[in-house]
Amino acid sequence: MAEGRIMKALSGFYYVQSGEELYACKGRGLFRKQKITPLVGDFVVFDKSADSEGYIQEIKPRKTELSRPPIANVDQAMIVSSVNMPPFSSLLLDRFLVFIESKQIQPIIVINKVDLADEEELEMIKEYKTIYEKVGYRVLLFSAKQRDDMMDIKTLFQEKITVFAGQSGVGKSSILNAIKPSLTLETAHISKSLGRGRHTTRHVELLNINGGLVADTPGFSVVDFSHISKEELGLCFPEIKTLQPYCKFRGCLHDKEPGCAVKNAVNSKEIATYRYNHYLQFLEEIQLRKPRY
């Protein structure tokens, strides 16, 4: 028996790194019966056989898990937005932040294509950067053409598993190509008529970059809140989570309740109005969700 980490899943095989070797493994039939799927990022126990092959016998407990992309034990997510092409959307960014927070994964905001921004757009992005940094997020303004920007991102990979998230066309693969040119990940041209990119990344793989592991994952523009309850939503907004204990009523949803510390903070400009409006929009979405039996 040996232990290792799944680095890639492709065509029914799980490629497990153990020491310097990479083993092409199959999962036990038992996993299928138990409806357990090994994921990239899993720590596993496997039977080694000849010719660098094997069978996965056990999956170690996961600290985090994503279903899209299917990956386990992620430490941080770099949520990539772009200044334009496609245009920056604070609503879409907040959807990603809520989703990543709900998975107990550390978000880092990367706003790409700053080299394409005009003066007005750059001013707007800097204002958003200030707001998100006040909330407690790390925000990087990025241009794949700037060497210093690449060094800033590279230092964040060390000893962590990082996923990239964000809608198609924002430049996730382009950023990875700029950071490690030998990867030559396929990049898509933006469809001018649609204003978004085509999906270009076909499987999940962990790539060794700067002392850490990075997954290049498909861009997706919609995140699902089906796993988040109305009571949990406030915990996914750090500025709301901090004030929640000071609300008059336990279980306050910060909507129509009196004595709400969050609404007071919005009125006094301590919480950005647009962030609170997004919270209310997501709350309504969750409340209108059809129950699943």
Parallel/antiparallel/unpaired status of strands 2-10 and 43-49 = antiparallel
Across 69-83, 116-130, 212-226, least confident range: 212-226
Highest-confidence range of 31-40, 92-101, 116-125, 193-202, by mean pLDDT? Answer: 92-101
Burial 93-113 (b: 16+ CB within 10 A, else e): bbbbbbbbbbbebbbbbbbbb
Q: Which residues contact 208 (CB under 8 A, 6 or more apart)?
A: none
Q: What is the mean pLDDT of the chain?
A: 86
Which pLDDT score, from 0 to 100, does residue 1 have? Answer: 86
Give the pLDDT mean for 156-180.
82
Where is 119: in which H helix or E strand? helix 119-135
What pLDDT digit, counting tens, does each position of 73-125 carry? Answer: 999 999 988 898 888 999 999 999 999 999 999 999 999 888 888 899 999 99
Count CA within 13 A, CB hemisphere, residue 41. 26
pTM of the model: 0.86
Kindly indicate the confidence band of residue 167, based on its pLDDT and cuts at 50, 70 and 90. confident
Residue 269: both structure tokens together = 């400009």
Of 85-89, 146-150, 190-194, 215-219, where does the model show the most confidence? 85-89
